[in-house]
Structure 1
Amino acid sequence: MKIRPITPSIGAEISDVHLGEASRDPGRFAPIRAALLQHKVLFFRGQDITRAEHAAFARCFGALEDHPVVGSDPEHPGLVRIYRSDNKHSYENTYHCDGLWRQAPAMGAVLRCIECPEIGGDTIWVNMVQAHDELPEEIKQKIGKLRAKAAIEHSFGAVMPMEARLKLGQDHPPVEHPVVRTHPETGEKVLYVGSFTTHFVNYSTPENVRHGIDKTPGAALLLNYLLSRATIPEYQVRWSWQAGDVVVWDNRSTQHYALNDYWPAPRKMERAGIVGDVPY
C-alpha cells in the first residue's frame, strides 16, 4: 500500500490496495485506519467494488447509520444513494460536518462515485484541527468553554416546504455540542461549528442585559467568524471525481463542501455513514 499526501494540511491518496480485500483482512485494514487519523481524508482511485463490499469496508470502522431524510438501500442498510440528474437539482453547497444535528454525529463516512460529470462536481474537505490551532489566542480563550445548538432544519429544512420543515424539526429536536471538541482518538482540538449550527447557548457579555443571552450582536459576529474558518484554502483539499473513486473521511476532524456546479449533468454517489460518539 502506497500513501501519497496531497496537501501539507489534509488528504492523502492511497494506491495498491483493494478495499474489498482490505475489509476481509485486518492486517490490510489497520494501516488504512492509521492513515485516516493522520491525514483525515483518504482517496482511492479505481476501486471496482460492489455495494456489499462498500458496506463491509465501512463497517470495519464501526456500525452504519441510517439517514432520516435520504433513507438507505433496502438491500444494504446504511448505504445511502445520493443521485442527481437533470430533473433532480443538487443543493449540497455549504461547509458542514455530517450529522452535527445528531446527539452523536457520524464518526466518518465512505463515499463511492458511480457516475460523475465530465467537469464540475468536485468536493472540498477542510482540516478543522488546523482551523482551530491557527486561531488567535484570545479567540481560543473565548470559545474554549462555549457550547452551541445545532438543528437539522437549519440546513436540510431550508429547501423544504414549511410544514415538512417544522415536522423535521419536531422529529429531530436541536442538540447541543461543544464549540471546540476533543478528538477521541488523537486528542486534537477541533473547531466544531458548521452549517447546522444555529447559536451559542452560553455566550455571556454585558450586552446580554439589552439583547438577551445568546442573541447579542457579538455572539453572531463570533459565530460567523468561526464558520468562515472552513473557507481558508490552506486548510483544504479538493478532489475531482472519477467513476470508481472511493473517499473515506474522519467526520470528527473535518468539514466538507460538495460543489453545486454541474447541473444538469448526472452525478451518482453512494455513501455509508459510520456511527459516532457524543462530542466532548
Structure 2
Amino acid sequence: MPDTLRPKEFPPAPPRPGVLRSSLDVEPLTCVIGAEISGVSLADAARDDDLFAEIRSLLLQYKVLFLRDQDITRADHVAFAERFGALEDHPVAGSDPDHPGLVRIYKDLDSAPEHYENALHTDGTWRENPAMGAVLRCVESPPVGGDTIWVNMAEAYRRLPEHIKAQIQDLRARHSIEATFGAVMPEEQRHALRARFPDAEHPVVRTHPQTGEQILFVNAFTTHFVNYHTPENVRFGQDYAPGAGLLLNYLISQAAVPEYQVRWRWRKNSVAIWDNRSTQHYAVQDYWPAVRRMERAGIVGDRPF
C-alpha cells in the first residue's frame, strides 16, 4: 500500500489486562486475552453512548468480551452490533429473515455434523474487507460441550522469533472461500461462488487500524503466499515447494499455542464480542447430536494493511 494511504499515527495501545479502569465489573480470564464483564445489558449499551464507548474500549484491550444472562431481543442484538458499524450477510449461512445481517448458526438434531467451524480462523478473510468483529449470542446450548476458543494473534506475532518476523514482514497471501466453504459444492456452484468472491490478497502481518499493533494474519482460509518466490528466498526449487508451504503452516500453527488462547463455555443468553482483526477462533464440535443454536451479527471491516 502506498505510504500516502497509511495512517501516520495511532492512538496509544490499550493497556494490558488489569490496568484499564471501568465502571463495569471486569474479570480478566487469561493473562493475554479475554474478559468477562457483568452489570450491564447490551440492550442498554445499544442506546447509551458512554456505556457503549466503555465496552468498545474494553474490547480493544481484551480483544474478546464475554457476558452472561443477556436475555435481549434480536432487535437489541442488532442495534448493539450496529453501534460498531454496518452488518454483513454470509453467502453460505443464512440470516434471520426479519433482521438482515443476523446470521443463524443452528446445529439441530436433523442436520448432519458440519466441520467448517472447528478450525482456527478469522471470519471472512476471503473478503477484500474482512469483518471488523462480531457479536455472537447463544440461543440454545448443549448440556456440555460446544465451547469456543479465541486466540490473540497480536501476541502470537509479538512472540515470533525475530528472524521469522523479518522474513514475513513484507509477505502477502491469498485467502479463499472456494477452497473452504465451496469445497463441498458441485463444480458449477463452486465456480459461481468464486466469481462472486474472488480470492482476496492480504498482508501476512497486518496493522490494527486503532491500536497500531502488528498482527499475524494467516488462518484456515489462507492458501499460499503470492510474493515469496524471489531470489532472496528461493535458491533451489525446494525452497519454494515445500519451503513456502512449510513456513505458512508454521505461521498458521501459532494459533494453536495455548498461551495465546481463552476458552469460553456457553450457556443460553451468553454473548461474546470479539475484535476479528486481532483474533482467531475455533468452535469445538464435540456435542453432536445435541443442539447448539447461535446468532451472530458480523460487522463490516476495513481493508487490511
Q: Structure 1-normalised TM-score?
A: 0.96
Between the aligned partners of 2:248 and 2:287, the Cα distance in structure 1 is: 30
Between the aligned partners of 2:38 and 2:153, the Cα distance in structure 1 is: 25
Range that drifts further, 154-163 or 31-40? 154-163
Between the aligned partners of 1:65 and 1:205, the Cα distance in structure 2 is: 37
Between the aligned partners of 1:121 and 1:250, the Cα distance in structure 2 is: 21
**Per-residue Cα deviation, 1:111-165 (whole angstroms, up to 9, x for no partner):** 0000010111000000000000000000000000000001112221233344432
Of 77, 82, 97 in structure 2, the residue corresponding to residue 74 of structure 1 is: 97
In the alignment, is residue 8 of structure 1 matched against residue 60 of structure 2?
Answer: no
Counterparts of 1:168-187 in structure 2, within 5 Å, are: 168-187=193-212
Between the aligned partners of 2:91 and 2:237, the Cα distance in structure 1 is: 35
In the alignment, is residue 52 of structure 1 matched against residue 75 of structure 2?
Answer: yes
Structure 1 residue aligned with 2:14: none
Structure 1 residue aligned with 2:302: 277
Residue 112 of structure 1 aligns to a residue whose secondary structure is strand
**Per-residue Cα deviation, 1:29-79 (whole angstroms, up to 9, x for no partner):** 111000000000000000010000000000011111111111312211110
Of 141, 144, 148 in structure 2, the residue corresponding to residue 116 of structure 1 is: 141
Amino acid at match of 1:90: E
Of 133, 151, 154 in structure 1, the residue corresponding to residue 179 of structure 2 is: 154
Amino acid at match of 2:75: A
- Which stretches in structure 1 are left out of the alignment for 5+ residues? none
Residue 76 of structure 2 aligns to a residue whose secondary structure is helix
Residue 95 of structure 2 aligns to a residue whose secondary structure is coil
Between the aligned partners of 1:90 and 1:216, the Cα distance in structure 2 is: 31
Structure 2 residue aligned with 1:90: 114
Of 114, 128, 149 in structure 2, the residue corresponding to residue 103 of structure 1 is: 128
Structure 1 residue aligned with 2:267: 242
Structure 1 residue aligned with 2:217: 192
Between the aligned partners of 2:175 and 2:225, the Cα distance in structure 1 is: 9
Between the aligned partners of 2:212 and 2:81, the Cα distance in structure 1 is: 23
Between the aligned partners of 1:71 and 1:118, the Cα distance in structure 2 is: 25
Q: How many residues align?
A: 279
CA contact (8 A) 2:138 2:294 kept: yes
Amino acid at match of 1:169: R
Between the aligned partners of 2:87 and 2:282, the Cα distance in structure 1 is: 22
CA contact (8 A) 1:112 1:271 kept: yes
Range that drifts further, 229-238 or 198-207? 198-207
Residue 271 of structure 1 aligns to a residue whose secondary structure is strand
Cα deviation, residue 167, structure 1:
2.4
Between the aligned partners of 1:231 and 1:23, the Cα distance in structure 2 is: 34
Aligned Cα root-mean-square deviation (Å): 1.5
Range that drifts further, 73-82 or 186-195? 73-82
Residue 77 of structure 1 aligns to a residue whose secondary structure is strand
In the alignment, is residue 229 of structure 1 matched against residue 229 of structure 2?
Answer: no
Q: Structure 2-normalised TM-score?
A: 0.88
Q: Could you tell me the percent identity over the aligned residues?
A: 63
Between the aligned partners of 2:84 and 2:196, the Cα distance in structure 1 is: 28
Range that drifts further, 166-175 or 16-25? 166-175
Cα deviation, residue 210, structure 1:
5.7
Residue 86 of structure 1 aligns to a residue whose secondary structure is coil
CA contact (8 A) 2:229 2:240 kept: no
- Which stretches in structure 2 are left out of the alignment for 5+ residues? 1-23
Residue 53 of structure 1 aligns to a residue whose secondary structure is helix
Between the aligned partners of 1:119 and 1:165, the Cα distance in structure 2 is: 35
